[in-house]
A and B are shown apart, each in its own frame.
Chain A
Amino acid sequence: MMKYIDDYKNPGAARKITENINTLAEKLPAAKRNFSIMEVCGSHTMAIARYGIRELLPENISLISGPGCPVCVTDAGYIDTAVELSRNGITIATFGDMINVPGSDTSLGKCRSEGADIHICYSPLSALELAEKNPDREVVFLAIGFETTIAPLMALLETAKSKNIKNLSIMTAFKLVPPALEALTSDPELKVDSFLCPAHVSAIIGERPYQLFVKKHKIPCVIASFEPLDILYGIEGILEQVVSNKAFVDNRYKRVVKQEGNTTAQHFMDKYLVPYDASWRGIGIIPRSGLKLKNEFDEYNTEKRFNIEVKPGKPNPACRCGDVLKGKIKPSECPLFRRTCNPFHPVGPCMVSSEGSCAAFFKYVK
């Protein structure tokens, strides 16, 4: 059963690919001598830090972490609304990562210790079970995430509908990766030369959205998984493109990512959701970068159901998560890093989430 696991960690192969990367880095054209690669996937961020991939690369190649952590880009006001709901006696079901994220004045974890009914779920299916078992309680699932999480949640709604479950709703803060690439590329303060595209988001959306992006911006995009060898192989693929003066979508995770993506998942997403201009914590509004429920599914929409509205929150102004998420600074450049902000006392979401850049740096980069 260890097949498909150990082989993607083979150290001999890692050494060889690292060598290739070094050779390619020396051949980069003068204008691209200092070359940046942004990863937009929390699992990449974590693996890069954990396996010390930055340290393996030559000095002229820099890896920048983008906004790939869904918890980190969720507005503080969203947490505030969830807190308010839980204080009003509503059952909250959520992924564990959300529990300790600071809202404007408190976190869901604190509310839970004060007696609020908050359940940590590994899968949204547990929220459905919770609603089925407690028909007299309103259950709200905190539906945050990128395409990889959006698809399962839409499949969940389909099941809830077929089972005629009336006491489950979802509070959505869904984000899409391709519009974020667009926004990051257009930011004049940022210099992103290429993208290491996410593994499982790509399994859902396929290659096409990146193709449209590459056509417009002529920036190399490589889809890679997040085993250490896959990441190195992805980086090698990016540099190969630059050295041969090309820019295309290179799918180096074909064992999972199909060219057209997961069309069943896309069908569920199209059925229930429409795009809108979403606000990203620390970054601001990105056009058509979010998905929300269509009006015809209001009964599953927490905000409509309880007639509430998520308002912008007041995150701690000293926290520089926004700059970290855009890759403008490294976590260690935030003055609070390791001092007042650490996983035991997180000031911002990037220190809480298992996929947050600040948490990754704290844990693995000495």
Chain B
Amino acid sequence: MCLAVPMKIIQINDDNTGIVAADDASYKVSLSLIKDPVVEEFVIVHAGYAIEKLDEEEANTRIDLFRELAEVNSEMVKQ
């Protein structure tokens, strides 16, 4: 039931709802569980509610780590 894909906030409405997008699809969600949502921020969505913001710095650090691991691996394969 959970979606791992973070979605980007592309619109915030007055009633605490908003539009989020991932790939080409967009969805209306409630933002009432998120403190101070900002357009362009990424959120995790569950059952039509944004449940937490994605910390982009943390996300990028992890991606860098995984990329480094992949490089180490390909060098080992070459040797």
Contacts and interface: CB of A to CB of B under 8 A. Distances in A.
Interface of A: 1-5, 7-8, 10-13, 15-17, 19, 41-43, 70, 95, 97, 122-126, 145, 148-149, 151-152, 155, 158-159, 199-200, 203-204, 225-227, 229, 254-258, 262-265, 268, 354-355
A16 B69 contact: yes
A155 B55 CA distance: 23
Given A12-B74, A16-B72, A229-B66, A125 B30 contact: yes
Contact of A203 (B51, B59, B63, B71): B51
Given A226-B2, A355-B1, A200 B70 contact: no
Contacts of A145: 1, 47
A126 B66 CA distance: 39
Interface residues of B, number: 40
Given A42-B2, A149-B47, 12 more contacts: A1-B23, A10-B66, A13-B66, A16-B73, A125-B49, A148-B46, A152-B47, A226-B4, A258-B52, A265-B51, A268-B33, A354-B1
Contacts of A19: 73
Given A159-B32, A225-B4, A226-B2, A152 B48 contact: yes
A4 B33 contact: no
B4 A43 contact: yes
A288 B33 CA distance: 24
Interface string B44-70: 101111011111101100110011011
A13 B35 CA distance: 34
A200 B66 contact: no
A200 B33 contact: no
Contact of B46 (A8, A200, A255, A263): A200
Interface of B: 1-2, 4-6, 8, 21-23, 29-30, 32-35, 42, 44, 46-49, 51-56, 58-59, 62-63, 66-67, 69-74, 76
Given A152-B30, A152-B49, A4 B54 contact: yes
Contact of B44 (A10, A17, A203): A203
A228 to B, nearest CB: 10
A124 B29 CA distance: 11
B48 A125 contact: yes
B30 A200 contact: no
A4 B69 contact: no
Given A4-B59, A8-B66, A229-B66, A151 B4 contact: no
